[in-house]
Chain A
């Protein structure tokens, strides 16, 4: 039996504290994202993003970076298993 393809990344986001709630909501609206930890005082979010392709992973990260109030959004960990191995 073939395993389903897996393509999941973990992302660290640095946020201007004044924009924290707005950024949290905007990231939550992006496809395939889940906010797994949030620290408003430190301006940090941990996000897990699941997308079907590598290009869409990178595009998702770019979209997070473009949200007003996001200081940075960078990759922590990426797992991609395209087929059964």
Chain B
């Protein structure tokens, strides 16, 4: 037998064993060596927000194999199609393997072409440019735009370099873009920025509702867990709320295709149903909840100036100043829909302000969101009948309202990058809290992360403009003092002023405050 053939057979037997083992069934066995005779190291896939545990196998110093880490509590030994790329990414012909510097006539020039240089030359040039601006404009002229894909050690090094070394709090991850609305809602509803659900709720629930989250393609490992649970428990029901049919629809019991933005109205309909049916968990609500509201004339977080806006952004920018209500918005706000009311956006600077209201006021607020009103507004598939869409909405409300059913609502960027993302996150908590289906095994309102280390690194290590490690804040003197003691810094080294968040950093670059 040829050597190549025998190695192939050996590999095939090992891959077979790994695949059979991943089925999680003791009844089936395979006899190959799943280690494939390789040296294996633990690693993490950083291609998406799940952050699956991987095992990377090397032979003679070259990565030749990858498999899902069976010990990882999230992906439990499987990977999605992106797993194929994890090994080969190291050997891509276009991989950047050495520093490139824009140069003209042998010198650094922003308008020059990229030229390979040594690490020494790259660092010398960065140091020269950094010092030039730092001396002139001080610590707020420099910053780091980071990522929710940072590992914990990478993020910690960035915090220490920026906050302890450069004395700037201009450090912020792109996780801000993904999750600012989720975080806003966490603070508004719970006073703290952390999700309360966990992936183990998947195997404990009997109802899953995905809202603007194509988990089958974007969080496939979690979707596989949901479907394994469903195969084993036929009573489990899946609702897929989406603006278009996607792969989650294939396995969903009920697909609800709605018009973009109308998810807010659907949540209000569910809340109205819970009120009408008196399906509240009164004990939970009395013990743990208050009813609150805030301003709705808050604009959209755009800059007041149109100097930097693209033409396509101008209409949105106008809405920063005033908004003409649609007829449906007018109905919901008890205004005359025929009058085309225009609302000046007066409270943009107080978007987070909120105050307590009595339960009666809450009931009145959701009263306009009847099934007829919401179904007409939200039906997203022109080929579907209104009666069919209404029946689906009612079925959804039945599942949220039924006290015997547990339910997990999953969402991701469909909510979190919504123009009213904070509100729609808050509405999910509203319905789960009303029914007491929150922070209990099998019941959760769960904002799926967009990046694997948006919690671990960005939040807890503190790679944000307002944070320090271990959930501490730069604005609090005792937190700065503690960080300074841990970092062995002279007192008052850490800058007490919150830095620019990532969008503000972009605006600072436009304005020349950040170099």
A interface vs B, CB < 8 Å? 1-4, 6, 8-12, 14, 16-17, 36-37, 39, 42-48, 50, 54, 57-58, 61-62, 65, 68, 71-72, 74-81, 85
- Bound-complex Cα distance A16 to B231 (A): 7
- Bound-complex Cα distance A78 to B220 (A): 17
Docked-complex contact A36 and B20, CB < 8 angstroms:
yes
- Interface size on B, as a range, is 35 or more
Q: A10-B15, A37-B28 are in contact. Are A4 and B4 (CB under 8 A)?
A: yes
A-B pairs with beta carbons under 8 Å apart, 18 shown: A1-B3, A4-B2, A12-B19, A14-B231, A17-B231, A36-B16, A36-B30, A39-B25, A46-B19, A68-B250, A71-B231, A72-B220, A74-B224, A77-B18, A77-B22, A78-B83, A79-B15, A85-B59
Q: Tell which of B74-82, B189-197, B377-385 binds the partner.
A: B74-82
* Contacting residues, chain B, for A1 (C-beta < 8 A): 3-4
B interface vs A, CB < 8 Å? 2-5, 7-8, 11-12, 14-16, 18-20, 22-25, 27-28, 30, 34, 36, 57, 59-60, 62, 64-68, 77-81, 83-85, 87-88, 216, 220-221, 223-224, 227-228, 230-232, 247, 250-251
Q: Known pairs A6-B11, A45-B23; list 6 more (Cβ under 8 Å).
A: A2-B4, A3-B3, A10-B18, A37-B30, A42-B231, A65-B247
Docked-complex contact B18 and A62, CB < 8 angstroms:
no
Chain B minimum-CB-distance residue to A81: B64
* Contacting residues, chain A, for B4 (C-beta < 8 A): 1-4, 6
- Bound-complex Cα distance A1 to B78 (A): 35
Docked-complex contact B19 and A48, CB < 8 angstroms:
yes
* Contacting residues, chain B, for A45 (C-beta < 8 A): 23
Q: A4-B8, A61-B81, A85-B62 are in contact. Are A75 and B68 (CB under 8 A)?
A: yes
Interface of A is mostly: strand
Q: A48-B16, A85-B60 are in contact. Are A12 and B22 (CB under 8 A)?
A: yes
Chain B minimum-CB-distance residue to A8: B15
Chain B minimum-CB-distance residue to A15: B231
- Bound-complex Cα distance A57 to B447 (A): 32
Q: Which of B19, B60, B250 is A10 in contact with, Cβ under 8 Å? A: B19
